[in-house]
Structure 1
Amino acid sequence: MKIEITKVHTADQITLVARLAGQIWREHYVSMITIEQIDYMIEKFQSVSAITDQIRNQGYEYYLLLQQDGSAAGYLSIRADNGKLFLSKFYVSKEHRGRGYASQAMAFIEQLCKERGLSHIWLTVNRDNASSIAVYEKKGFVNVREQVADIGNGYVMDDFIMEKEIAFV
């Protein structure tokens, strides 16, 4: 099934992304981190105010992954970073996984890199997130290092940093 990838501009779109984040994070991360940390991270990084600030002041771009009927299947967030593209967020709702949406979104991201002259895509992924790590490896990402980042309130993000080189053929 083909998806439409739409850049987030409006307050309604930002609200939709925040709602998707709450749903996806609570269903996916509960086996890796506590619900208290999930709630803290959603408020800090994926609330309407946090997303709005990221778009307006921090150079992030958000995109909705829309099905043919217009309903949202997921979202992603990117930012140029020292000649590379940082894939900050990349989430597909549980009921929409396995339909090729991640492949379509990754092709879109790779095309953005080529258009913008960015040499790599890099991301952070929770080291216990085996299913996402497997998807990224299948898409050509390699683990380049580990990172433990203090995010406040006594919480840390314990991640792998993965990277994929973009071929300019």
Structure 2
Amino acid sequence: MASVRIAYEADIPTIQSIAFTAWPVTFGGILSPQQIEYMLHMMYGQEALAAVLNGKNQLVLIAEDEKRSPVGFSAIEFSYKELDATKIHKLYLLPSVQGKGIGKLLIKEISGYASDRGDKSLTLNVNKYNQNAIAFYQKLGFQKVREEIIPIGNGYYMDDFVMGKMLS
């Protein structure tokens, strides 16, 4: 049975490996190879991940399959922008395990941590052309809240939907 655990700095190579495997599959038909490479290095470099792992109100979770092999991760931030919402900054799975309930397990764990911290909702950004991810989140009760275009440097932008879900 799959499980979820808290990540630590020793997990940085694991997180990087999952991201560098999942991103080209996830975004290959959406973003240019140059933008994928730029974003991977910007978001998943050693220093960037260490900052997330040690960030105030932040938590990184590792999903493991039944053999305890890491197959996904999520990075979240409690009380995002001082609101009672937990922001899901990252949620990626190896392509080989997508559709097997592990993403749903991560969302369930995130919801528990968020509720324990007093947050009332979950929020996230998703690329508006990533139909698989949008469908996944909608199936779990997330709704589109608004659109957002975010400049990320080097002439690149994230063209996203902001989605949200109330916690029960």
**TM class by shorter-chain length?**
over 0.9
Deviations 1:96-147 (A, max 9, x none): 0111111211111111122111011000000000010001000000000000
Using the TM superposition, give the Cα deviation of residue 64 of structure 1 relative to its aligned residue in structure 2, in angstroms: 0.8
Scaled by the length of structure 2, what TM-score is found?
Answer: 0.94
1:27 equivalent in alignment to 2:10? no
Call closer, same or farther: CA 1:59–1:153 in 2, change over 3 Å: farther
Q: Which moved more, 1:48-57 or 1:25-34?
A: 48-57
Aligned mate of 1:44, from 37, 42, 45: 42
Scaled by the length of structure 1, what TM-score is found?
Answer: 0.93
RMSD: 1.1
Using the TM superposition, give the Cα deviation of residue 58 of structure 1 relative to its aligned residue in structure 2, in angstroms: 5.2
| Aligned match of 1:67 | 65
| Aligned match of 2:146 | 145
- Secondary structure of the 1:137 match is helix
Q: Provide the identity percentage.
A: 26
Q: For residue 142 of structure 1, what is the amino acid of its counterpart?
A: Q
1:121 equivalent in alignment to 2:122? yes
Q: For residue 69 of structure 1, what is the amino acid of its counterpart?
A: K
| Aligned match of 1:9 | 8
Deviations 1:85-105 (A, max 9, x none): 000111111110111111211
Deviations 1:14-43 (A, max 9, x none): 111011111110121010001100110011
Structure 2: which 5+ runs fail to align?
none
Looking at structure 2, the residues matched to 105 and 67 of structure 1 have their Cα atoms a distance apart, in angstroms, of 12
| Aligned match of 1:99 | 100
| Aligned match of 2:133 | 132
Following superposition, which runs of at least 4 residues in structure 1 exceed 6 angstroms of deviation?
none
Looking at structure 2, the residues matched to 166 and 47 of structure 1 have their Cα atoms a distance apart, in angstroms, of 32
Looking at structure 1, the residues matched to 129 and 72 of structure 2 have their Cα atoms a distance apart, in angstroms, of 21
Q: For residue 68 of structure 1, what is the amino acid of its counterpart?
A: E
Looking at structure 2, the residues matched to 18 and 163 of structure 1 have their Cα atoms a distance apart, in angstroms, of 27
**Number of aligned positions between the proteins:** 165
Looking at structure 2, the residues matched to 75 and 158 of structure 1 have their Cα atoms a distance apart, in angstroms, of 22
